[in-house]
Amino acid sequence: MSKKSNSAAVLAALLAGAATGVILGLLYAPEEGKETRKKIKDKANDLKDKAVDEYGRTSEVVKDKYSEVSHNVKDKYNSLSSTFKETAQNVASTVKDSYDKYKDQIVSKTSDVVKDVETELDGLK
């Protein structure tokens, strides 16, 4: 955005310089004061109109850029959100699968231990 700020500053300086030059030229021209004031007023109105037009164009450019950046940010957010959700689902699935696998092994080992204990107890009777 500093490039746009510099452009705006240069444009403002050029307009101010042009206005100063026009006013000085008119003030030193050999005409009646009434005519000179009319020319200054006309030039000032012209410069004001140009500034308003430039403001309108610059405003549109800024709005367009804002819209573009906003759209890109939303797209990136949605993409990252989808990736995060997918990764979280994969992790949850892996944890569940591991839990189920180890649960079955623990149940199996526990059953073996119970059978061994029952066998030992039967042997002690």
Question: Residue 12 falls within a domain, yes or no?
Answer: no
Range of the domain at 90: 34-123
Residue 76: exposed, middle, or buried by beta-carbon count in 10 A (0-12, 13-18, 19+)?
exposed
Q: Looking at the 3D structure of the chain, how many domains does it have?
A: 1
Question: Residue 28 falls within a domain, yes or no?
Answer: no
pLDDT at 31: 62
Question: Residue 25 falls within a domain, yes or no?
Answer: no
pLDDT at 80: 93
Q: Report the alpha-carbon angle 17-19-22, nearest 5.
A: 110
What pTM did the predictor assign? 0.45
- Where are any strands of DSSP class E within 24-101? none
Tokens of 27: 């003030």
pLDDT at 22: 76
Percentage of residues in the chain having pLDDT higher than 70:
91
Question: Residue 9 falls within a domain, yes or no?
Answer: no
Question: Residue 48 falls within a domain, yes or no?
Answer: yes
Question: Residue 106 falls within a domain, yes or no?
Answer: yes
